[in-house]
Amino acid sequence: MLEKLKNVFSTFVKKTLTEKNLDDAIHELRILLISNDVAIDTADEICNSIIGSFKGQQITRLTSTKKILLDTLKEVIIEILTPEEEIDIIKEIKAKNSLGLPYVFVFFGINGTGKTTTIAKVANFLKDNSISSVAAASDTFRAGAIEQLTKHMDNVGIKVIKHEYKSDPASVAWDAIEHARAKNIDVVLIDTSGRQTTNRNLMMEMQKICKVANPDLKVFIGDSLAGNDILYQAREFDKQVGIDANILTKIDADAKGGAALSIAYETKKPIILLGIGQGYNDLKPFNRDIFLSSILDFK
């Protein structure tokens, strides 16, 4: 995981740079970043920061150049991975519960990203933190969606509130919230239809769910293997319904590693959790320092 991105940075830092070949090296770095699923704007931010670090300085010995490059990379990646607002979901949930109210999540993402499985993983993660939850089967259009969510939630011991297919998704969400209030359940996890972002009816449906449910956190679930498609999806959901946080799936299979950098830079919203495998326990909080060391920890 992340080995290719690590190799890209390692090779660049170890280059013998001169004022004459700096532009060529930066151009090569930019191409390598983009080829490893780093979005164009994100790659430009990294490259421009490196160029800026050498302004007014003369490139001298390799050792000093290496230190400048490494320090600059650390600074720019920390800035990219530091959102405008940090989110501690456990703390936020407990704060909302202290008011006698359930904390409400709404999850967005297209089909094939592992969205439904990830919601079950979130439920299991919360359960491990002594937080109860109930799920709302608000994808009432895709054949098999309700059964799929129910199966996963049964496996982790979580109740699902569901209606008939083609019923109003927002009403399912509302019923799940009312159930949580009545039963003193801590969290409501609302699944939504995963059709393409170009589907106008889908987006209107998402907007209605958000209006009715008034969620505390709107979460985009993206496939880290989707390349730049993940950025287009995130932008569209953010534009139409707003995104508060991101979850990246299949990060264990992401050899390139650019998705996390790109989604953090493009959305300016935190990555809160990472899917690291197929099991219900294979979900972990995103740790900026661990991610940073995994791509810059080289000799």
Domains and CATH numbers, the chain: 3-81 (1.20.120), 89-287 (3.40.50.300)
**Distance (Å, rounded) from C-alpha 93 to C-alpha 130?**
11
**Distance (Å, rounded) from C-alpha 254 to C-alpha 105?**
26
Q: What local confidence, expressed as pLDDT, does residue 228 receive?
A: 76
Model pLDDT for residues 18-71, shown as the tens digit of each residue: 767 778 888 999 998 988 888 888 899 999 988 887 765 655 554 567 788 888
Strands 245-249 and 271-275: parallel
Q: Which residues of the chain have pLDDT under 50?
A: 62
User: What pTM was estimated for this model as a whole?
Assistant: 0.90
Q: What local confidence, expressed as pLDDT, does residue 147 receive?
A: 96
Type of residue numbered 192: T
Give me the phi and psi of 290, to 5 degrees please. -65, -40
In terms of Cα–Cα distance, which of 293, 287, 235 is closest to 266? Answer: 235
Residue 290: CB atoms within 10 Å: 11
Residue 204: CB atoms within 10 Å: 11
CA dihedral 279, 224, 264, 286 (to 10 degrees): 20
Q: What local confidence, expressed as pLDDT, does residue 7 receive?
A: 87
Give me the phi and psi of 88, to 5 degrees please. -105, 100
Helix (H, G, I), strand (E, B) or coil at 218: strand
Helix (H, G, I), strand (E, B) or coil at 106: strand
Q: What local confidence, expressed as pLDDT, does residue 252 receive?
A: 81
Supply the angle between the helices 22-35 and 3-13 in degrees, to the nearest 10: 180
- As given in the structure block, the two tokens for residue 216 are 């505390």
Q: What local confidence, expressed as pLDDT, does residue 171 receive?
A: 97
Q: What local confidence, expressed as pLDDT, does residue 246 receive?
A: 96
Q: What local confidence, expressed as pLDDT, does residue 103 receive?
A: 98
Model pLDDT for residues 173-182, shown as the tens digit of each residue: 999 999 999 9
**Distance (Å, rounded) from C-alpha 211 to C-alpha 278?**
33
In terms of Cα–Cα distance, which of 276, 299, 264 is closest to 85? Answer: 264
